[in-house]
A and B are shown apart, each in its own frame.
Chain A
Amino acid sequence: MGFKSAHSSLFIPVCVIFVFMEVMPTMKENFLDRFYARLDTLGEKLQTKELRIPVNITAGVVFFLFALFILAVMPQQVPISEGDAINGRSFPTLLMAVMMLCCAGLVLKDVYKIITKKPIEWKVINLNTEVKALVIFIILLISFFLCIVTDLFVVGSIFCCLGFLIYFRCKKPSYYAITLGIAVIIWVAFRFGLGVEF
């Protein structure tokens, strides 16, 4: 990409910083405030919704199935020479056998506890927390795809900075300027200090 040059990479964050210093005060009173208010309402609804999962049974079942899957795909995924008693499949097979044994142990232990009416370990999963984590992950994902699509690391970095500052409901223009400035410094350090091409 011809667009990928040091000047263009620096130009974008400088523009963004300028726009945010100028536009932020108006934005926060209008769009962002309404956006945050909607999020608050949604958050209040989700805060009360919780999922309780039995930790040992869940971990046991999930990884037992995972081990079964690995054993099932092993013949296609791990080629071996005929006649080798100890081959590339031996070690992963042993690992999966140990994993399945451990998983069975975890599940049986809790099933026994349930039968004997002893308390088992539960994990409470709050939906509000999970949705927040999902939002953070989406910020990461969009930043990643922006890097790929534009082939400019700095574009993804800028989105990441803005995304997190908005997520944290930051209203200080100076924070935007500092964060974007540091993002550029990191890019410069990797690009010119360590010779990483991005």
Chain B
Amino acid sequence: MMEYVGPAMGLLFTLENIIWINLGVFIGAIFSAIPGLTVILCVTLFLPVTYTMSAIPGMMFLLGIYCAGGYGGSVSAILINTPGTPHAAATMLDGYPLSQKGRTKAALKIALEASTFGGIFSALALLFLGPQVAKIAAQLGTAEYFMVCLFGLTIIAGVSGKSLVRGIISACLGLLIACVGSDPMTGYDRFAFGSNRLYLGLDLAVCLIGLFALVEILSKAESRAKAQNMDTSKLKDDGRITKDEYKRMFLPTLISSFIGVMVGIIPGTGASEASWFSYNTAKNMSKHPEEYGHGSVEGIAAAESANNAVTGATLIPLLTLGIPGDGTVAIMLSALMINGLNPGLSLFTTQGDIMYAIMIGLIVINIFMQIQGQLLTPFFAKVVSIPEEILTPIIVIFCFAGAYSVNENYFDVGVALVFTVLAWILRKIDLPPVPILLGLVLGKMTETNFRRALLVSDGDPSIFFSSIYCKIFVVLIIVALAAIIRGKIKDRQAEKAAHAE
């Protein structure tokens, strides 16, 4: 490890990287502070920008957005009682009441400091756990890799929507779309329908712009966000946090960061689950549970540290196995692959300096997030009230410019529009889009390993159950499926009970 740290520092600490980190943090915080705009939308919009960059600045920019997105959601949650991102909902429970007590600045400061702590904690977990998991990943063959992909897809399909079966249909659709273009093993074109452009396949960023960004514009037809007027006079308190409050927050922050890391490692789970789980754990452990929901400093710290502790942990399965921990990091995988960085042990050995630069960079991102948060929070607060009339066309122009810039042709913009219609139809029939994203990202890897394994075994499918790792993944898939089905049944029963009442 130490042999890579020195060169990694040299690669990381350049003016270019520092600028991209700060730009990413700034944009991520703004996007997530505005209710209705999500981190995944932001990363989708800015992914094409990274196509012209090398691996480190590109990843630093996207990770900056991702990490700051974890914090930015809390700004609107505390100020206007509306979480900027879904995972800031738990923060809102205590953040807004504390703000109502005249301690807005203090609430924002707690959220920022807890986010930074959680983020750095998870970056350290990535730094130390990542290479160890990668060593295990190095022992996996093609059959095992197929099972890993299957495991990731199963979990994402299961947790993404109301129905596991509908999730599987979405995942199959994503995997099929990934088949468009030249065959990864023979080079023959597939599903090109006579179009020269389709021969090269569909670019992930273009598909995502339609699936996640432009469809949000269509959803303006469903409802319009009310204009949020932020009263900046709220930010007039001194923002002081007492020693006693720091003492009370330390343990919940530490435990929540640990929970965030554990939740983040599991593919398919994300910041929302981590923040709610941590919030409840902290409440159960607290000496003052009655304060929760009424402006508890512990509550804010627990929720915020957990949702930012997910950021580094989701990268562990991504960088070691190529399985994204959540939808947002799935997009980042393409930013890595475009620079020839394929997940696995080789990434930690042959390109160890780049990998360590990215992992150390995550710590630096959190430090800059803290600095920007301290200096720019009043500005982020004002951004919350940007009217929808201005924001909507700007997002569309960004989407068009992003889709066009991938290959510098309007065909890609057309493809993005086709995916917008597809996403709208899927929404109407309750098919979740995240498994499609996973299918798109993992498609080539899943198919290549599937076919290679079968070629090795002369078409005998028992190869997928042959090794100990395969068996472990089969058990994991069964356990995951059982847990998902059990969860769905419980949800349905709870829904029925609520309906009966």
**Is the A/B pair a real complex?**
yes
* A interface residues, Cβ below 8 angstroms from B: 53, 55-56, 58-59, 62-63, 70, 73, 77-81, 85-88, 90-92, 94-96, 98-99, 102-103, 105-106, 121, 123, 125, 129-130, 132-133, 135-137, 140-141, 143-144, 147-148, 153, 156-157, 160-161, 163-165, 168, 170, 175, 178-179, 182-183, 186-187, 190, 194-198
A155 to B218 alpha-carbon distance, docked (Å):
21
Chain B nearest Cβ from A130, distance in angstroms: 7
Docked-complex contact B410 and A88, CB < 8 angstroms? no
A195 to B186 alpha-carbon distance, docked (Å):
35
Given A77-B190, A123-B428, A170-B389, A143:B400 Cβ within 8 A: yes
Docked-complex contact B393 and A165, CB < 8 angstroms? yes
Chain B nearest Cβ from A98, distance in angstroms: 5
Among residues of B, the one whose C-beta sits closest to the C-beta of A106 is: B165
Docked-complex contact A129 and B222, CB < 8 angstroms? yes
Task: Determine which of A63, A78, A98, A156 lies in contact with B190 in the assembled complex, contact meaning CB atoms within 8 Å.
Answer: A78
Tell me if B472 counts as interface (CB < 8 A to partner A).
no
Q: Which 3 A-B pairs have the closest CB atoms?
A: A132-B221, A133-B221, A164-B393
Q: What B residues does A103 contact at CB under 8 A?
A: 169
Docked-complex contact A140 and B417, CB < 8 angstroms? yes
Docked-complex contact B166 and A144, CB < 8 angstroms? no
A140 to B393 alpha-carbon distance, docked (Å):
10
Q: What B residues does A94 contact at CB under 8 A?
A: 450
Docked-complex contact A140 and B169, CB < 8 angstroms? no
Given A77-B192, A102-B165, A92:B430 Cβ within 8 A: no
Docked-complex contact B168 and A98, CB < 8 angstroms? yes
Q: Summarize A's interface: helix, strand, loop or mixed.
A: helix
Task: Determine which of A80, A92, A106 lies in contact with B179 in the assembled complex, contact meaning CB atoms within 8 Å.
Answer: A92
A125 to B217 alpha-carbon distance, docked (Å):
18
A80 to B387 alpha-carbon distance, docked (Å):
54
Docked-complex contact A91 and B450, CB < 8 angstroms? yes
Task: Determine which of B165, B401, B413, B428 lies in contact with A190 in the assembled complex, contact meaning CB atoms within 8 Å.
Answer: B401
Docked-complex contact B390 and A86, CB < 8 angstroms? no
* Segment at the A interface, from B60-68, B330-338, B451-459: B451-459
Docked-complex contact A92 and B190, CB < 8 angstroms? yes
Complex A-B: 9 CB contacts under 8 Å: A53-B428, A86-B455, A92-B176, A96-B176, A99-B169, A153-B401, A165-B389, A165-B393, A183-B397
Docked-complex contact B459 and A85, CB < 8 angstroms? yes
Docked-complex contact A144 and B394, CB < 8 angstroms? no
Docked-complex contact B191 and A179, CB < 8 angstroms? no
Chain A nearest Cβ from B143, distance in angstroms: 13
Chain B nearest Cβ from A128, distance in angstroms: 9
